A and B are shown apart, each in its own frame.
Chain A
Amino acid sequence: MKKGNFYIFINGKKIKARKGQTILEAARKNNIEIPTLCYHPDLKEKASCRVCVVEIKGKNRLVTSCSTKVQEGMEILTNSKRVKKARKINLELLFSQHKEECYDCVWQNNCQLLELAKKYKTIINRFEDRKTNYPVYQFGPAIIFDSSKCIDCRNCVEICEKQGVGFLEVKETKDHHLFKVAPRKDRVCVYCGQCLVHCPAGAFEGVGEFEEIEKPLNEKNKIVVVQFAPSIRTSIGEEFGMAYGEVVTGKIAAVLKKLGFDKVFDTSVGADFTTTEESKEIIERIKSNKNLPSLTSCCPAWVRYIEYYYPEFIHNLTTVRSPQVILGGLIKTYWAKKKRINPKNIVVVSIMPCIAKKYEITRPELKIKGLKPVDYVLTTRELARLIKRKKINFKKIKPKKLDNIFGNPSGAGVIYGASGGVMESAFRTTYEILTKKTLKRIDFKPVRGMKGIKKAEIKINGKVRKIAVVNGLGNAKKLLEEIKKNPKEKYTCIEVMACPGGCIGGGGQPIPTSEEIRKKRAESLYTIDKKKYIRKAHENPIVRKIYQEFLLKQSAIAHSVLHTSYSKKTKEKIRELK
């Protein structure tokens, strides 16, 4: 046996384990299931829920398998009478602080709490709910936090801190010296939604997550156009029991048509416009040596983070609008004119992996001639819920093509959904424009993958330029601090996505999430890119056509479709709904 490997016994079965492994890891590796609630592979183990307890032979006290390391010869029982009894009682105590609202909960279909309750014959109302009167908060137009559902695992506090935001904190209450999770008045939420995807109890939800998802379908006498983000096509299948990362682009198109949307477009085409315009801007900034490093701005949580926490970097943000906003703008200007539709009669709906996108569309400076480019944002989860409500069989539906003229993106537009995708797309385009040469090696591997901060150097026209790609706001904070401390470290371009892994790990995506799941969602996006004939944004025929026919000819309106502005943000009042 390899050094550091040894045997342990789980439920009498001899199992190979490795020094440093936890009991949970060793068990799961051998397909022995141990239930967990507060445990999340993205976070430090807190061992607070006490549901993953197991018995070690000869010891009176049970131990938590998530935090206890294996030892040679250890004899572990994962399902003894005492273990089951302890889990049952601890679950009853967890339920005693969790107000059940199962009918509208993000865990509706795969609630771990309920599953365990059934398994361990838990009396879920054994104790009176002690949090019935706890407040419900709303954070901007994006997130609702119902603290009466919170089971005090504090995952949200940890991820919020890890995101470099620290908006959620643990506070002592006057009620029996009990602590509770609450928002901090001196910080702001940036709406990334990572609290939501890391909460095991469904205490967080998107605004309108249950009540408002049918609204776009009820827009009478309007042309209702829908677009969906790159990362949705490799994640929504999970909601219907399909494999992680399964590509379902055509199925999404089919389902959206069946739901009654008049046109189905691809936000990835919007991304091709973003890339093309952003490359132009980068080249200008390089030439004038102004506002470098250029910071990407497709991620609204990141933009808000800069606007509130690091306003000194506002001028570095690219002024180019995000893909959904550009596409919405083009639909209501260029496309409307072509189709001879009054833009006031067009409703644009975006299906996004993101909760912050709900906030983005409320930004007043985005309006074009008084109209919002996008009228509704539904998250991946919300679309899945809508499909289920309408009893459409997603798994079986026959794929359909997306609609012209915004239905066919370049490969570059699709990889926007993964961390590094925006940079890679921009690189493909910028390189060709700057060098006037054809880029032979299209794959730009150094910026791919799940690493929090990826740094690379590119040689263009004989000059070496530094770039960085960041996912996770906490990592962005690190890099910004690094830049502030060491201004000599000069980057030309920095891509930041607020969520781990980029949009494929977004706050609007299916739950659960983990690095393993995010990797699969991202890999599939790269597979789509690889199969595409056109893989560079500026080569997309529709991009060329619209630039030539419209954007280059009418510069005023082009500017309002393609660019935006930012401003320093101040504290805002946190709404208490209850």
Chain B
Amino acid sequence: MVKNIVAKLKKEKLAGRSGSGFPTWLKWQLVKKEKAEKKFIICNGSEGEPGTFKDGFILQNYPNEVIEGIKIALEFLNNSTAYIYLRKDYYKRFGYKLKKLARNPAINIVKKQGGYLSGEETAICEAIEGKVALPRPKPPYPTQKGLWGYPTLVNNVETFYWVAKIAKNEYKNQRFFSISGDIKNPGVFQLPEKWTIKKVLQETKNIPNSDFFVQAGGGAAGEILLPNQLNRQIKGIATIIVFNRKKTDLFQLMKKWNNFFLRENCDKCTPCREGAFRIGEMLQKKKLDNKTLKDLFFVLDTTSLCPLGKIMVNPFKSLIENLL
């Protein structure tokens, strides 16, 4: 058994690698503290954010570490059971392999149900329980009441990988970056988490020769940044997409995002359902009305039911500010 795992996680300041950045040690401690006859662990391999493929890369290359991380959690939480929740293609590619590697009946492999939203932690609980995979209201948080109402630890595939590394004292404050777009050298890179976006692109030899812009933090949720705005660390998930400024049709790009949100949102709450629709309508007409957009962003940001509506604002707002 790994001794003082929480202290170690705390010392290394490991933060959730899904993009939320929640301190991992705190989450582990919260679940530990809950009194319950059993507990659950979910390894989130739903990786639904466009342009993001680092979890797939880790499952392909380092499945042992991921399993190791889950096993540490299983030991840490009394009477616990684990689920690895994999998006459909990962389930097909890695499901069998993971089950074999795990050699532990307490580790189960589950196929993702539904789309983008079903990768949200409470939606995963619904999915594993056999219900429609849509987010639950929070609180209660999964750490309090998750799977079947029991305290549940939900961490990303990459987080479990780093837990295993930290347990072996092999952690060097790195993270996995998914880099793609109009570049020479796309792929997944394991780099210091403190590096700025600029440094990441430089060191991976991905700074284009011609004028460009990037979307950082996810292919749907990420914000648009200009070359002079790259001296900062990435916010959210470590996904960078590089665009050739001349060649990119901005309306086409925005339509692509809009389509994504229209397809993936659940249509329950007014701002997200109608907001996404009205943004799409404006894009179709190629006529962006600033006042209306501002109003839509306001209600999306402050009143949408789940985070999806809120994150919808990022790409549009930053693109319009920077490029239009």
Contacts and interface: CB of A to CB of B under 8 A. Distances in A.
Nearest to A49: B270
A85 B291 CA distance: 13
B302 A93 contact: no
A90 B270 contact: yes
Interface stretch (A171-179, A294-302, A528-536): A171-179
Contact of A93 (B262, B268, B274, B305): B274
A97 B305 contact: no
Counting chain A CB atoms within 10 Å of each CB, the highest count among B278, B296, B304 belongs to B278
Interface in B232-246: none
A448 B323 CA distance: 69
B263 interface: yes
A50 B271 contact: yes
A47 B305 contact: yes
Contacts of B271: 50, 89-90, 93
A453 interface: no
Contacts of A126: 292
B270 A86 contact: no
B137 A47 contact: yes
A50 B273 contact: no
A47 B278 contact: no
Contact of B299 (A90, A97, A127, A152): A90
A62 B302 contact: yes
Contacts of B304: 50
A568 interface: no
B76 to A, nearest CB: 30
Interface string B267-295: 11111011101101000000000001001
Given A93-B270, A93-B278, A178-B273, A50 B310 contact: no
A94 interface: yes
A127 B274 CA distance: 10
Interface string A26-66: 00000000000000000000111111010000001110100
Contacts of B278: 93, 96, 127
A48 B298 contact: no
A48 B263 contact: no
A50 B274 contact: no
A130 B284 CA distance: 14
Given A85-B298, A89-B298, A47 B262 contact: no
Given A61-B310, A85-B298, A90-B303, A48 B277 contact: no
B115 to A, nearest CB: 10
B137 A48 contact: no
Contacts of A79: none
Interface in A87-146: 89-90, 92-94, 96-97, 126-127, 130
A323 B249 CA distance: 71
A48 B302 contact: no
Contact of B296 (A64, A89, A94): A89
B298 A50 contact: no
Nearest to B280: A176
Contacts of B296: 89
A50 B277 contact: no
A67 B303 CA distance: 13
A82 interface: yes
A94 B280 contact: no
Contact of A89 (B137, B273, B299): B299
Interface in B65-119: none
A151 B271 CA distance: 12
Contacts of B299: 50, 86, 89-90, 93
B305 A48 contact: yes
Contacts of A96: 274, 278
B275 to A, nearest CB: 7
Interface of A: 46-51, 53, 60-62, 64, 67, 82, 85-86, 89-90, 92-94, 96-97, 126-127, 130, 151-152, 154, 176-179
21 contacts: A48-B305, A49-B269, A50-B269, A50-B299, A50-B305, A51-B270, A53-B303, A61-B302, A61-B303, A61-B310, A62-B302, A86-B298, A89-B298, A90-B270, A93-B271, A93-B275, A94-B270, A127-B274, A176-B280, A178-B273, A179-B267
- Which 10 A-B pairs give the minimum distances between C-beta atoms? A93-B274, A179-B267, A50-B303, A177-B262, A177-B263, A48-B268, A89-B299, A89-B295, A50-B270, A62-B302
